[in-house]
A and B are shown apart, each in its own frame.
Chain A
Amino acid sequence: MITKRIIPCLDVDKGRVVKGKKFLEVQDVSDPVELAKQYSLNGADELVFYDITAASENRDIFVDIVERTAYEVYIPFTVGGGIRSIDDFNKVLRAGADKVSVNSAAVQNPNLITEAALKFGSQCVVLSIDAKRFCDSWHVYRNGGRIDTGLDAVEWAVKGEQLGAGELVLNSIDADGIKDGYDIELNRTISKLVNIPVIASGGAGKKEDFLEVLTEGCADAALAASVFHFNEIPISELKEYLQKNGVAMRR
């Protein structure tokens, strides 16, 4: 049977991991390739790299990291951040990424999802949705959570699947950084309506949060950053805990 996945997320700025200061005994703690190797050794099922570099002239540094990671790490990884065109997809896929995630650009140009799915296959098109609660629903935000698009997040997720996305990442803006658990309702609502894998993101603070979102929240995978970077929750321990609690894990 297929296992649920644990996915560390690395935010990369100008070639360095942001918030990666305390990780284990790694010498160069903020080198993304070193961190990726460590995570892979510790049992991460997949990795996500977000390029948060603002200036476009620094994008080549990021592509270089993707290339080096593909050489050093033999688990799948997704690349996101600033992907706006088919050409951007091409660049990172050619560099060795397995999947590409789109967010704001897909909201503004939904066709990008379809074009990319036709060209590269749905399996490598990940739709990343920044969602924030609005009354009893969720709105889609873009530009790093700064702009409310007014779109309903559940409708957008369903439409994303129809357009050809092969996977969804649901980032809860409300839960992000609070470390008080994932948005269970958001994940469950969307998981029940789509037929593609859902990755929960935002809010992980303790092991129980992972268990909750992978069971009650019906998510297929859970993504987190700081709890892994700071080694607050070692991945191997987390996976052992989840396995003991009935969630199938790769060991």
Chain B
Amino acid sequence: MIAIIDYDAGNVKSVSKALEKIGLDTVLTSDRAVINASRAMILPGVGSFGKAMENLQKLDLVDCIQNNVKKGKFFLGICLGMQMLFDVSYEDGEWPGLGLIGGSVRRFDPGLKIPHMGWNALIKNREDAIGRQISSGEFVYFVHSYYAQMQDWQDVVYYAEYGVNVPAVVRKDNVIGMQFHPEKSSDCGIQLLKNFGELIR
């Protein structure tokens, strides 16, 4: 069972439906016991960083997530959920994140249309099992105004070009982030979710 962490993060239905479609059981939960017993965790997310971290804290889930990650449990952050994997975000202030991958989250420079909204091509930075059967040039659907500035570019599996090189899929050991919405990225997104499913078998 995959625990999709429920912290009032907007539309999480699409994520669970997409996973269900490819045969992965999910449960939407904010219960520590259920999360502890899960096979893997997914942190979805739409909305603002500060509010989202605040909700996680209110639900007393920050330690719970960090401990599960320490034990080696796979953890996937999607969109805002990926941004929350980093040390800090500068979205409307300065907010500490979960600190699981080194880097900070910053707003795109003015001059570009913001949000970065639409289909953009993935460019491979390095081989990784999460990218199985996905080649450079495949398109995924992005909607975000902030992006990750990496401490270590080796943590990037795929990136996209939007004024800067935007980390799109990041991975550090058992922690994986996707800045775009795999559940809205047609075949390519479904393949990425299948790859995640393979990793946690």
Is A177 close to B, CB under 8 A? no
A64 to chain B, nearest CB (A): 13
Contacts of B187 in A (CB 8 A): 74
Closest B residue by C-beta to A221: B118
Report the nearest A residue to B143, measured CB to CB.
Answer: A123
Given A74-B18, A121-B48; A98-B117 close (CB under 8 Å): no
Q: Once bound together, how far apart are the Cα atoms of A207 and B145, in whole Å?
A: 32
Chain A interface, DSSP helix/strand/loop, else mixed: loop
A121 near B46 (CB under 8 angstroms)? Answer: yes
Interface 0/1 of A13-35, CB less than 8 Å to B:
00000000000000000000000
B162 neighbours in A (Cβ, 8 Å): 1-2
Q: Is A195 a contact of B114 with CB atoms below 8 Å? A: yes
Task: Confirm or deny: A250 has a beta carbon within 8 angstroms of a beta carbon on chain B.
Answer: yes
| A20 and B146 alpha carbons, distance in the complex (Å) | 39
Q: Tell me how far the C-beta of B193 lies from the nearest C-beta in chain A, rounded to whole angstroms.
A: 10
Give every chain B residue within 8 A of A4 (Cβ-Cβ).
118
- A120's nearest neighbour on chain B, judged by CB, is B10
CB distance from B78 to the nearest CB of A (A): 13
Most B Cβ at <10 Å: residue of A5, A93, A196, A197: A197
| A3 contacts B by Cβ under 8 Å | yes
The tally of CB-CB contacts under 8 A between chains A and B is 94
B61 within 8 A of A: no
* CB of A15 to closest CB in B, whole Å: 20
Q: Complex: how many Å from CA A250 to CA B118?
A: 10
- How big is the B interface, by class? 35 or more
| B141 touches A (CB below 8 Å) | yes
Indicate if A101 sits at the interface (CB-CB under 8 A). no
Give A residues with C-beta under 8 Å from B: 1-5, 40, 45, 67, 70-71, 74-76, 93-98, 120-124, 166-167, 195-197, 220-221, 250-251
**B binding-site residues for A, Cβ under 8 Å:** 10-11, 13-14, 17-18, 21, 46-48, 110, 113-121, 139, 141-145, 161-162, 181, 183-187, 189-190
New contact pairs (15) apart from A96-B11, A197-B118, CB-CB < 8 Å = A2-B162, A3-B119, A3-B120, A74-B183, A74-B186, A74-B189, A75-B184, A94-B13, A123-B115, A123-B144, A166-B115, A195-B113, A195-B114, A220-B117, A250-B139
The 24 sampled A-B contact pairs (Cβ below 8 Å) are A1-B161, A1-B162, A2-B118, A3-B120, A5-B119, A40-B186, A45-B118, A71-B21, A74-B18, A74-B189, A76-B184, A93-B11, A95-B13, A96-B11, A96-B17, A123-B46, A123-B117, A123-B143, A166-B115, A195-B113, A197-B113, A220-B113, A220-B118, A250-B139
